[in-house]
Amino acid sequence: MATALEATTAIQDKMFSTMQIGQKAMLDSVKSWAETVETVYAKLPELMTADPIKPTQFMEMTLGFTEKLMSSQQDFTTKLFEAMIPATRAATAATTAATAAPKPKP
């Protein structure tokens, strides 16, 4: 039987692996999006010269998007931890039951 430390480590490893898969999917999406934008701009040169955005506007727009992304990630993480509450209750109950059980006599 696995110890609590081993079980916790296994869970953390699985969650980390899953997170990396999600991050890779996101990076692949962004790369695909960027390549699409590059293709569109290459085909429509008039967009490149029409009313260019100022660097400060671009920075503000990018930081605004970053704030929305971070807020979304915080909300997701909060909901994720809330979803795990039943598992922690079950683990606590099992531990309490195991420590409260009478010990066998030698």
- The whole-number pLDDT of residue 54 equals 87
CB 76 within 8 Å of CB 82 = no
Degrees to nearest 5, angle at CA 85 with 100 and 91 = 25
d(CA 68, CA 76): 12
Q: Where are the domains of the chain?
A: 19-51, 53-84
Residue 47: the pLDDT is 62
Query: What does the pLDDT profile of the chain (106 residues) look like in tens digits?
Result: 678 899 899 999 999 999 999 999 999 999 999 999 888 877 777 666 667 778 899 899 999 999 999 999 999 999 999 998 988 887 788 778 777 767 767 6
- Count other Cβ atoms within 10 Å, centred on residue 92: 10
- Report phi then psi at 103, rounded to 5: -80, 140
pLDDT of residue 12: 94
Q: How far apart are CA 99 and CA 66, in angstroms?
A: 47
How many other C-beta atoms can be found within 10 angstroms of the C-beta atom of residue 91? 13
